[in-house]
DNA sequence: CTAGTTTCTTAACATACATCAATTTTTTCC
DNA sequence: GGAAAAAATTGATGTATGTTAAGAAACTAG
């Protein structure tokens, strides 16, 4: 039945794993295919899973009382996504995860991962390092929001994430940068002119 | 000589450690006492250490070309501090760490920690969970900067970190919130009046 | 291919916060 | 305890980005 190559070595690149370990890890992952527009996680739901993106594009966003949306994270090929604040504390989602482009993803529960860490410590190291990278990115984003104009933040965004820019709407980018779609439009015009 | 109780169980609260492990860990930590005003890390220096705060108050800040300062992190009792982006990648500091109140701290190198992780996996779990918490805080801060007014961010700040507010200058808080000291002053007046 | 819907753009006006320039208050330290 | 330095406050004015409202452009689905 299972003639296709395992996706596990692809996810855990550079992590040395025995065949037995690959099978064991594979057992706790579940494949999902998502259509554009689908909601993967709703506000108020218990967040038990995080998701590895094999293809497609998703975003996590927060909705204010006023109805305004704020994109916290985009994810494309080889990224992970969840409402991490809720995931880490096994609590209820305050954010929504939406599929922006048809996607193939793998889900895994926090509980299963924590159990695997005990048996395969290099998995914990793998995720710790991912987390260190994400921490640095967030810090950079905070610094940007403190020190850069909207135009500079947009320019950095498209330079840093050209693949994301391609697959999302401008108003998604605006809600990630913390500006209105109208302001982004003006910024784009300004950039196009000069 | 060493009649005082080890500080290690205090740092790694809730981590089960044998006496031998405590001694081993203790061997890679070094105690420092800092006077208010001292700079612990300068821009351009290789970042090999992170620091655990036993008492006192420090901050990490970034200086723009224009000279404007942006506080990225405060740290008080039982917090850790570093220029983490540089620390995680063993590269050069882009930020400065400054002592704001006389402090007693413990420093440990990334290399020593990574080696300890291999022998004492529960230390890696401890730091991974710290990192998860820090990740959530950063996410919350990004959401705040996207969705809240300066006044709301200030109110949240003093509610969340009353102990920090006590030990730092208003202009430090302003530079953390991403506003000028003049704006913070107006916000404080407004709050005092109502 | 066309009608309807979604997304993007533009313009006029509003507002939160920044800037500049004093002045007052608080802290430091001899 | 008083002079000097540092920090906080205040007012007048400027600016980046938001808001509202409309229309143009780009998709989507029958």
> CA B170 → C1' D9, Å?
12
Distance from CA of A59 to the nearest CA of B (A): 14
Give domain limits for chain A.
Answer: 8-121
**Bridge partner list, A71:** A61
Count the neighbouring beta carbons within 10 Å of the beta carbon of residue A32: 15
Please identify, in words, the CATH class of the domain defined by B8-120. mainly beta
Write down the H helix ranges in B14-90: 19-26, 84-88
CA dist A76 → A58, A93, A105 (Å)? 7, 21, 10
Q: Which of B120, B131, B157, B176 to mutate to test the interface with A (most CBs of A within 10 A)?
A: B131
CA distance A106 to A108: 7
In tens, the pLDDT along B139-167 reads 999 999 999 999 999 999 999 999 998 89
Of B127, B141, B145, the CB nearest to A178: B145
CA distance B90 to A177: 29
CA distance B150 to B183: 9
* Strand C nucleotides where any atom sits below 7 Å of a protein CB: 7-12, 16-21
Q: Which residues contact B105 (CB under 8 A, 6 or more apart)?
A: B31, B32, B33, B34, B51, B52, B53, B54, B56, B58
Residue with tokens 């302001």: A183
Percent of chain A with pLDDT over 70: 97
Check if the beta carbon of residue A106 is closer than 8 Å to that of residue A11.
yes
- Residue B85 and residue A131: Cβ atoms within 8 Å? no
In this prediction, residue A4 carries a pLDDT of 66
CA distance A142 to B143: 10
Q: Which 8-state DSSP code applies to residue A58?
A: E
Please identify, in words, the CATH class of the domain defined by A8-121. mainly beta
Write down the pTM of the prediction: 0.93
In tens, the pLDDT along A90-137 reads 999 999 999 999 999 999 999 999 999 999 999 999 999 999 999 999
């Amino acid at each position: 039945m299972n003639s296709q190559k395992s996706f596990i070595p692809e996810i855990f690149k550079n992590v040395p794993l025995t065949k037995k370990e690959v099978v064991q890890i594979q057992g706790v992952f579940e494949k999902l295919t998502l259509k554009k527009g689908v909601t993967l996680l709703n506000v108020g739901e218990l967040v038990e899973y995080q998701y590895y993106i094999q293809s497609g594009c998703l975003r996590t966003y927060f909705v204010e009382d006023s109805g305004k949306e704020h994109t916290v994270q985009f994810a494309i090929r080889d990224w992970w996504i969840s409402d991490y604040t809720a995931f880490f504390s096994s609590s209820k989602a305050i954010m929504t995860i939406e599929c922006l482009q048809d996607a193939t993803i793998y889900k895994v529960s926090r509980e299963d991962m924590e159990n695997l860490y005990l048996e395969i410590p290099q998995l914990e190291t793998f995720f710790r390092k991912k987390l260190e990278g994400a921490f640095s990115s967030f810090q950079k984003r905070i610094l940007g929001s403190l020190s850069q104009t909207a135009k500079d933040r947009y320019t950095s965004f498209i330079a840093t994430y050209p693949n994301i820019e391609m697959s999302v709407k401008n108003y998604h980018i605006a809600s990630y940068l913390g500006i209105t779609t109208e302001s982004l439009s003006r910024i784009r015009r300004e950039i196009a002119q000069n």
